[in-house]
Structure 1
Amino acid sequence: MLAVRWYLRFNLSYRDVEELLVERGVEVDHVTVYRWVQRFTPLLADAARFSRHCPGDRWFVDETYVRVNGVWRCVYRAVDQYGQVIDVLVSPRRDAAAARRFFHRALTTLKVTPGEVVTDANPVYPRVLDDLVPSAWHHVGRHANNPIEADHSQLKHRLRPMRGLRSDRTAQTIVTGHAFVQNLRRGRYELATDAPPATRVAAAFTELARAI
């Protein structure tokens, strides 16, 4: 749990985590750290699902790009008006099918329907939203999507020290784990509620470790 938390929380490579563990008397190869992250990140996020705060009714949706095995991949991301990351999805394409998959996944997982969705001028969004969230007001305006565009920098900052993502599955796990820890840090879960902000993530991981 310590290795996974360090990797998801701080700007560390797998080799950095390996070195820090050695200083604590734990000798483990960086490949093992990678396997731990891939194995336990989805379990931790799933265990925390029932303690997650209900997201707001205003969603900001946008796409950014990451390199996966030398190829650019589109990452769909959404945040609400309170800064909670709604969901993330790594997709080989930026098209209507990917946008539909992203919204369907978010709506099915959270079982919450937004009252307003703010996007850029991507022409696929009106049709997708009319099909999946017909009651929501779709808003497109200059600077209206600044919250999610600014939030992309958090993900980019985390990915910078990595040596690259090798597969779409690996990329999905990492961006999901980053969003999960980001929400923990912002107090979007009923976990470690008595812990001070500086130790909230560590305390939450301790609680979740017992659950899995």
Structure 2
Amino acid sequence: MLERGVVVSRETIRRWCLSSGRLTPTRCVVGVSLPGGKWHLGEVFVKVNGERKYLWRAVDADGKVLDILVQNRRDKAAAKRFIRKLMKATQSVPRVIVTDKLRSYGAAHREAMPSVEHRSHKGLNNRAENSHQPTRQRERAMKGFRSVGGAQSSCPRSAASHPHFRPRRHLMTATEYRTGMSTRFTISDQITGPAALPTAA
């Protein structure tokens, strides 16, 4: 940006992310759909200010992130809290949930959604495990999270906007990819508004 004559500070970028980041995930309409009937639940530990926390994540069968919650533990109470928050956020109940072998899922499932089929198998939950990769990339870029609130606010925004700017390139021709990305950038510009360039003094 400096090479192009655009002078901004880190505080300006931070304020822009706070103002536009809340709008972008909910208003990017490319590929928006209702959650599918199969939900994959998983958790991964993250370091927040040097302390170990657990980031709970749910994705549907298409890889769309449904909800994210940062908690101190990964016990039955934490699993039940996440499942209830997930159902409230999506306003729906899945046909089946897929988890790893963590027993907290089974105990929470029996109380929070007993009518839903539960499949517990490490190999079946690769979709949820793969969805943690953008979080790891963001964690490395930010050199760790400074607070639980910062991790809780930044991870859902990043997870929601990540598929908007990264379509499945391997399933598209070059022409389709260029056309699709042009549409996605146009939508993003309409949401965030044109960036005002500084005028020369």
Q: Taking structure 2 as the reference length, what is the TM-score of the superposition?
A: 0.79
The size of the alignment, in residue pairs, is 185
State the partner residue of 1:197: 180
SS state of the match for residue 112, structure 1?
coil
Contact 1:185 1:200 in 2 (8 A): no
For the residues of structure 2 that align with 1:166 and 1:54, how far apart are their CA atoms? 33
Contact 1:55 1:86 in 2 (8 A): yes
> Quick check: 1:112 aligned with 2:92?
yes
SS state of the match for residue 146, structure 2?
coil
State the partner residue of 1:179: 159
For the residues of structure 2 that align with 1:199 and 1:73, how far apart are their CA atoms? 38
State the partner residue of 1:44: 24
Instruction: Give the AA of the match of 2:113.
Output: V
Deviation at 1:74, TM superposition (A): 0.7
Which aligned pairs between 1:39-188 and structure 2 lie closer than 5 A? 39-48=19-28, 52-185=32-165
Identity, in percent, stands at 31
For the residues of structure 2 that align with 1:199 and 1:129, how far apart are their CA atoms? 43
For the residues of structure 2 that align with 1:35 and 1:165, how far apart are their CA atoms? 17
Task: Summarize the Cα distance change of 1:209–1:39 in structure 2 as closer, same or farther, 3 Å threshold.
Answer: closer
Deviation at 1:58, TM superposition (A): 0.6
Instruction: Give the AA of the match of 2:75.
Output: D
Residues 66-75 or 124-133, more deviating: 124-133
Q: Taking structure 1 as the reference length, what is the TM-score of the superposition?
A: 0.75
For the residues of structure 1 that align with 2:192 and 2:26, how far apart are their CA atoms? 12
Give the superposed CA RMSD: 2.7
For the residues of structure 2 that align with 1:200 and 1:69, how far apart are their CA atoms? 39
Deviations 1:5-29 (A, max 9, x none): xxxxxxxxxxxxxxxx333333221
Contact 2:134 2:159 in 1 (8 A): no
For the residues of structure 2 that align with 1:203 and 1:65, how far apart are their CA atoms? 36
Instruction: Give the AA of the match of 1:55.
Output: P
> Quick check: 1:209 aligned with 2:189?
no
Task: Summarize the Cα distance change of 1:159–1:104 in structure 2 as closer, same or farther, 3 Å threshold.
Answer: same
Deviation at 1:118, TM superposition (A): 0.6
> Which has the higher Rg, Structure 1 or Structure 2?
2
Task: Summarize the Cα distance change of 1:24–1:91 in structure 2 as closer, same or farther, 3 Å threshold.
Answer: farther
